[in-house]
Amino acid sequence: MKQLLRKMNINNKRVLLRCDLNVPIENGNVLDETKIIKSLETINYLLKENCKIIILSHLGRVKSEEDKAKNTLEPVRLSLAKLLNKEIKFATDILGPSTKEIAQALLPGEILLLENTRFLDIPNKLESTLNEETAKQLSELGEVFVLDAFASSHRTHTSVVGLSKYLPSCLGFLAEAEINMLNKNLINHKNPFTVIMGGAKVDDKLSIIKSLLPKCDHLLLSGGIANSFLYALGLNLGESLKNDNPEIVSELQSLMFTYKEKFAFPLDAIVSSTYNNTTTIKSINKIEANDIIKDIGAKTITKYKDILDNSETIFINGTMGVYEEKEFKNGTTEIFNILSKYPEKVVIGGGDTISALNNLGFRGKFENISSGGGATLEFIANGTLPGIEAIMEDDGIEVLDL
């Protein structure tokens, strides 16, 4: 059991808090504040405990000097200041002496946000690989490390796994809640356990598919994932998205051989034709050379509904079709409709899956939504993550005095 924030005496301490504030930003405006709002529970608790708070987060991809301008955390600072109705200090030179001075001078209840940790990657990748010297330098800014960035905890990056070696450490409320939700619903699931895997690329999801197959009773496939398995079975899929790498094909064949009775494939598909630009519904064994599969059809939805209605635990990751286009959102919409009849049985994970849920009118209909993306999939596959592993163990003392 890892140490938890509420079991530590952090009163008045200088706390380094690793959040996931990686929000979408356009023209300097935060488009979706969900991740910032979710981080407030831990921040508000630290404020109540009179902590001096130093927040770290990455934002977007920073591969070159030019990437910095569009990935500054300044818009996040403004959003956080508005939500907390409080001044948020900002330090741009993360490892510089000025940042250390601001951190040292913080008063109880004051907050300092450090600039995007991935700025440290230019030129020497000090964040995106574990750099001990950088971790040590960062740790000197605080007295305690709190990891609340569940969604980043699969990354062996300096600000995620590095600091707990040098400071007393614990999990924040958001990380704790996410771990508890996944443990309760998926790691300790009830059977029949059904997994719905959709979306684009099978290679992204192969490790989670492999880890879930022994545990689940049914694996319902859709999207590019289903196409890749069907291709491995020898079906003609026209120009549909699929993985035809021989090594992957043979791996998929061996999985289907081992777990035959668990696989459920689409019976029909909504296809668009590159030949005459029409959209039609076709049986899965009647796909022609110019066809591109874009969604599941009505027969597939009925077949999947029957399995879902008889399941006790359901995990869905990936959309049923190209939900971004209105002609191909029906499969995803109908599956969400079915799942919304028994939301307590359902766990939802994946960036696009959650966007689809919100865009297709299901916001607020499900409780067990894991915000982790890749972290969620890795947690389900391995039962832990590198960032979580690095946090110190709970030694059983009710409140740990630091």
Interaction site with Mg ion (CB under 5 A): 351-352
Measured CA angle at 90 (ends 172, 139), to 5 deg: 50
- Residues 388 and 315: their CA atoms lie apart, in Å, by 22
Q: Does 242 bind ligand ADP (CB under 6 A)?
A: no
Pick between residue 351 and residue 386 the one whose CB is nearest to Mg ion: 351
Residue 121 or 352: the one with the smaller Cβ distance to ligand ADP is: 352
The reply on whether position 266 binds ligand ADP by CB under 6 A is no
Write down the least CB distance from residue 218 to Mg ion, Å: 23
Q: Choose one: 62-70, 124-132, 312-320, 394-402; the region binding ligand ADP (CB under 6 A).
A: 312-320
How many residues sit in the footprint of ligand ADP (CB under 6 A)? 19
**Identity at 134, one-letter amino acid code:** T
The one among 16, 53, 212, 241 contacting ligand ADP by CB under 6 A: 241
Alpha-carbon span 388 to 321, nearest angstrom: 34
Tokens of 51: 């902590």
CB of 292 to ligand ADP, least distance (A): 7
Check binding of 381 to ligand ADP (CB under 6 A): no
Query: Residue 243, interface with ligand ADP (CB under 6 A)?
Result: no
- Exposed (0-12), middle (13-18) or buried (19+): which is 118, by Cβ within 10 Å? buried
- Residue 227 pairs with which residues in a beta bridge? none
Query: Site for ligand ADP (CB under 6 A): which residue of 51, 293, 335, 391?
Result: 293
SS3 (DSSP) at 381: helix
Asked whether 74 and 116 are in contact (CB, 8 A), the reply is no
Among 260, 232, 259, 227, smallest CA distance to 245 is for: 232
For 306, other C-beta atoms within 10 Å of its C-beta total: 11
Q: Is 318 in the site for ligand ADP (CB under 6 A)?
A: yes
Query: What does 318 bind: ligand ADP, Mg ion, none (CB cut-off 5 to 8 Å by kind)?
Result: ligand ADP
75 binds ligand ADP (CB under 6 A): no
Residue 291 contacts residue 239 (beta carbons within 8 Å): yes
The binding track of 338-377 with respect to ligand ADP, each residue x by CB under 6 A or -, is ------------xxxx------------------------
State how far the Cα of 342 lies from the Cα of 353, in Å rounded to an integer.
18
Task: Give, in order, the Cα–Cα distances in Å from 346 to each of 312, 363, 371.
Answer: 9, 14, 14
- Contacts with 137 (C-beta within 8 Å, 6 or more apart), sequence order: 95
Rounded to whole angstroms, how far apart are CA atoms 100 and 105? 9
Q: Which stretch binds ligand ADP (CB under 6 A): 252-260, 278-286, 311-319, 379-387?
A: 311-319
Does 333 contact ligand ADP by CB under 6 A? Answer: no
Cβ-based nearer residue to ligand ADP, 77 or 242: 242
Verify binding: residue 162, ligand ADP, rule CB under 6 A.
no
From the list ligand ADP, Mg ion, none, partner contacted by residue 324 (C-beta under 5 to 8 A by kind): ligand ADP
Instruction: Find the binder of ligand ADP among 142, 199, 266, 387 (CB under 6 A).
Output: 199
39 binds ligand ADP (CB under 6 A): no
Q: Contact with ligand ADP (CB under 6 A): which of 30, 53, 130, 322?
A: 322
Which H/E stretch holds residue 376?
A: helix 374-382
Q: Which residues contact 29 (CB under 8 A, 6 or more apart)?
A: 75
Q: Which residues bind ligand ADP (CB under 6 A)?
A: 198-200, 223-224, 241, 293-294, 317-319, 321-324, 350-353
